[in-house]
Amino acid sequence: MAETPSAIPLEKIPQHVAMIMDGNGRWALQRGLPRLSGHKAGTENLRRVIRSTVEFGVKYLTIYAFSTENWGRPPEEVKGLMLILQDVIDHELNELNREGVQLRHIGRLEGLEPRIQKKVLKAIELTKNNDRLILNVAFNYGGRDEIVCAIQKIINDGIPAVDVTDELVGKYLFTANVPDPDLIIRTSGELRVSNFLIWQAAYSEWYITPTFWPDFDKEEYRHALESFAQRDRRFGKVSSGELLESNA
């Protein structure tokens, strides 16, 4: 059987991993540094995590980088986070492109400064034919906002109520054509969803670690994947093992 470098059987590797990259501020606080240093360290770590994702054979990675609620943070922090996004595009785009990463954005792009919108669109255009990893960047993203946006578009398109199905709604979300996340990882120990992929997470498995995002390394990522590989995903049914037993 083909095995990944993690020794997890390939068929047990999640197709789509989503990450709530949390704990940058506390990471900085612990070191007596400003919060923005935590965000910079978090960005450094993101580069490593993307590389590991490709190595583990995960096809889709969604990262929560800025929520619709994060606008409520102090203005200097918001400004710093906007600059970090631009910096990442300016300095990492070519390398990501070489590595075969296809960049996508989820969230309200029109809510960002025109200069940032332009950079994001350029990154999407440049990488659109890559297929080694699909990287969805959730920036100015909120799960409720995404659903509101979908409802508005459905109404604008004049779709009759009887045609509004689970599948149709999925097509109107920012994540249209992306499979639901199999595994969601949240760093820094918070036991909440924080408005992330609330529709798509209906049957996702969760892995929550107390580690702050800048310290979330490949070993721990592997551990999360190993944990996922052992889960029995029942999707509301009974496990396949039990069915076999009852038929015996």
Total chain residues near ligand IPE (CB under 6 A): 17
| Nearest distance, CB of residue 143 and Mg ion, angstroms | 16
In this structure, what token pair is assigned to residue 16? 């789509």
In contact, 141 and 66? CB cutoff 8 Å = yes
Q: Does the CA dihedral 210-211-212-218 come out positive or negative?
A: negative
70 is known as an active-site residue = yes
d(CA 202, CA 235): 9
Binding mask 175-214 vs ligand IPE (x if CB under 6 A, - otherwise)? -------------x-x-x-x--------------------
Q: Does 92 bind Mg ion (CB under 5 A)?
A: no
66 interface partner picked from ligand IPE, Mg ion, none, CB below 5 to 8 A per type: ligand IPE
Of 14, 16, 17, 22, which one interacts with ligand IPE (CB under 6 A)?
22
- Per DSSP, the three-state class of 216 is coil
Catalytic residue among 45, 70, 156, 215: 70
22 is known as an active-site residue = yes
Of 61-69, 103-111, 121-129, 217-225: span binding ligand IPE (CB under 6 A): 61-69
Q: Does 68 bind ligand IPE (CB under 6 A)?
A: no
Place of tokens 């993101």: 46
Query: 222: which residues sit within 8 A by CB, 6+ positions away?
Result: 6, 8, 56
Nearest CA to 61 out of 7, 94, 101 is that of 101
145 interface partner picked from ligand IPE, Mg ion, none, CB below 5 to 8 A per type: none
Query: 3: which residues sit within 8 A by CB, 6+ positions away?
Result: 9, 10
* Residues engaged in binding ligand IPE (CB under 6 A): 20-26, 64-67, 70, 81, 188, 190, 192, 194
* Residues engaged in binding Mg ion (CB under 5 A): 22
Which residue numbers are catalytic? 22, 70
